[in-house]
Structure 1
Amino acid sequence: MQPDISVKNLNKTYGGGFQALKNINLDIESGEIFALLGPNGAGKTTLISIICGIVNLSSGEVKAAGYDIIRDYRKARQSIGLVPQELNTDSFETVWDTVCFSRGLFGKPPSPAHIEQVLRDLSLWDKRSNRIMSLSGGMKRRVMIAKALSHEPQILFLDEPTAGVDVELRRDMWNMVRKLRENGVTIILTTHYIEEAEEMADRIGVIRDGEIILVEEKSTLMSKLGKKELRLHLQKPMEKLPGELLLEPVELSDDGYELIYSFDSQEEQDGVARLLRKLSELGIEYRDLQTRESSLEDIFVNLVHE
């Protein structure tokens, strides 16, 4: 089964010689939620814009839903819905008219039932007769999502869709994303809210300086690169670590009241048991202990700065 998005040896160089994308190779499977993470200027929006036919590639090959984005541009573009970062809608149109117009642009026959369902899912049904200029920023963002879904795309791009929006819209949108995924829609997400990617994504891709530096199943990524930390709050402060603990990945806090033990998930049982056994043998008493696991944000920050 071919991937919904296939990118091979993709390069993009702008005038002046700036290379925004460098030999990108990426496959995104049908029906998955793929989170593309990276710092500002890393190339996320450029990559999305090329796949969506908004920006021309310099070299390489890109297919969407099996169609080459250059040779079969119309069919490729019909398979894609895009929610861009910028709010760019016709201020004088009503919500209903602009969403219906978007559907017509992709050659789809009228479907009032589908448009109604999209508007209801996004809590826009009561605003269907309002002009867009009268809506709040959050409601305008909902309209952009509705426009992207108007033609029932096979692939949906969400480029920073929840930037600056309220909690209610974020909740509504993620409920819709889950429903779309259940119906087989492939979703590609970029976001600065890494907790969203951690909750929603099946796979994570990290882009830095125009290069894909990692693509991994979210669960595998968390297991391989995630660290755990055990903090032991001591009954009495220590001036320095005993010699028996120097070979362990243990640090002593500045005030001497905490032992901080860092370990991989795979080492969890053996390492913690060994440490606690050594503390008991040394007569070191503790009054409390806490564990903390790396979040996707911790992993992302480490990857980007390595």
Structure 2
Amino acid sequence: MSEVVSTAPDTRGPGIGGSLTATVARWLIRLVAVTLGILTILFFLLRLSGDPAAVVAGAGATDEQVQQVRVSLGLDQPLLEQYLHFLADTARLDFGSSLMTGEPALRLVLDRMPATLLLTAVTVVVSVLVGVPLGVLAAARHRRPTGRAVSALAGLVQAVPSFLLGILLLLLLSLKLGWLPTYGSGTPAHLVLPVLTLAALTVARLVRLTRSGMLEALGQDYTRAALARGAGQGRVLWQHALRNALVPLAAFLTIEIAHLISGAVIVESLFAYDGIGRQLVDSIFRRDYPVVQATVFAIAVVVILISAAGELLLRRLDPRIRRAA
């Protein structure tokens, strides 16, 4: 018996450390593989979309001038050689300079990244503060008109495309009522319309997910036992049922944050919000290869890091995931 007690801590310790090390190694490999795959596909697609040398040279440039620009940008080299140079530069985080402004491409992206992260963070906070309580309400009163109305409204909002909702909000709150600025960024007022547009779909999904998770938890024996022991309905809802519904909610938010960052492309362009989404659209139309590649690289890294943080959070919330790992 003494041998078992003395050796148990030694066995448990390396297991936990080994699991954490394996998780970090797995996510690093995934980060490199996914980023490399995305950038490789993007590299070849961009070069099939048109000649950036003609864009940089200008509409009135001669063939000789266009060729000079092509040579200066290294676009006269074979495609495979361009790709190998691109991989070497990516490994050094050197995406070159913008074809339009001449500034380092990665620096342009990093300058815009805080605005997009702020928009995403505010959207997530608003969605959780609105969607989770409405989901709890819909579950607690699922047989009453209030719960049915909340569920129906969530389904209706979920069916409306984000760009259409953004246009309607722009017409109503900015152009008709004049309450909010129509475009731009830099002040809290400029965040309202983009946040409402992005948060609407997330709130609708949170309501439906929270409702289903709460209804499942309320049908379990432990909630019935708590009610039988005299616990109030509010305590059962918030301390027992909601706690067990947090795991699927955390998993959903991890995926949703990635969708919000990528979905910000449309919303930022609609409201002329100075984030990486709008910069990406402008760079694509201008065929500014370095900025497009640097933007996609930054988005891929952020999304993968968020996914890794979400997996660690799920392990923290659910002991079954830790045991399985």
TM-score range, shorter chain: under 0.3
Q: Answer 1 or 2: which has greater helix percent.
A: 2
